[in-house]
């Protein structure tokens, strides 16, 4: 009998450092695509889009100053740092869950092999 692979197994089988690297490109969120996590991906795209259009709204057709350019870039950098760290932490959490599940199944298997069971 074949067991279905769940979201946790898919996330745990992905590479944490690769997801971190892919999410470090501001506003793209390809690390979430790699991890097959669609909700955080769309949140990332939404946050980047809102930040972009907020910058356009604030400028209202004027040329941006150097400070405004730096603020815009820092906003995208902040989004990429948050998403990179979150994808790495989600990967570590999934690994921990898989490890705990395997430990629990090993304990159950050991109990089944005993001579006297209650």
Q: Per this entry, what is the length of the chain? A: 118
Helices (H), the chain: 7-13, 16-23, 30-35, 38-59, 66-112
Other C-beta atoms closer than 10 Å to the C-beta of 25 total 14
Phi-psi region of 61 (alpha: psi -120 to 50; beta: other; left: phi over 0): left
**Tens of pLDDT, residues 8-61:** 888 888 888 999 999 888 778 899 999 989 999 999 999 999 999 999 999 988
**Spatial separation of the C-alpha atoms in residues 23 and 34, rounded to whole Å:** 10
**pLDDT at residue 80 is higher than 80:** yes
């Amino acid at each position: 009998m074949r067991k279905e692979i769940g979201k946790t197994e898919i996330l745990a089988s992905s590479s944490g450092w690769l997801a971190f690297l892919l999410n470090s490109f501001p506003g793209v969120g390809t690390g979430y695509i790699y991890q097959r996590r669609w909700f955080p991906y769309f949140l990332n795209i939404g946050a980047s889009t809102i930040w972009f259009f907020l910058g356009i709204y604030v400028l209202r057709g004027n040329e941006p100053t150097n400070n405004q350019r730096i603020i815009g870039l820092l906003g995208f950098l902040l989004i990429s740092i948050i998403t990179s760290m979150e994808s790495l932490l989600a990967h570590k959490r999934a690994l921990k869950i898989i490890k705990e599940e395997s430990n629990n199944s090993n304990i159950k298997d050991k109990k089944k092999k005993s001579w006297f069971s209650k």
